[in-house]
Amino acid sequence: MFSLSKAALILTFFYFILWCAGPLVFDANAIWYGVPLWFWLSCIGAPLTLIILLINLVGKIDD
């Protein structure tokens, strides 16, 4: 059985990796609505993705 605390630590680690990789992967000229694209992906896209993954993971744990 997969513990929820272990899942939270793994998801947090992946969030940190995505957050750090943003400025390295995207060019500084990639601007969307006046804000760099890596900001949108790291501060909005990554947390939403991880929340969706957590919901799916918790659903599998309960089954």
Q: What is the pLDDT of residues 11-26, one digit of tens each?
A: 788 778 877 777 777 6
**pLDDT exceeds cutoff 60 at 44:** yes
Q: Report d(CA 31, CA 2) in Å as an integer.
A: 40
Q: Report d(CA 29, CA 42) in Å as an integer.
A: 16
Residue 62 confidence (pLDDT): 57
In the chain, what are the domain boundaries? Answer: 4-62
R_g over Cα of the chain: 14
Phi, psi (5° rounding) for residue 27? -70, 150
Do the Cβ atoms of 22 and 38 come closer than 8 Å? Answer: yes
Secondary structure, 3-state, 3-23: CHHHHHHHHHHHHHHHHHHHH
**pLDDT exceeds cutoff 70 at 2:** no
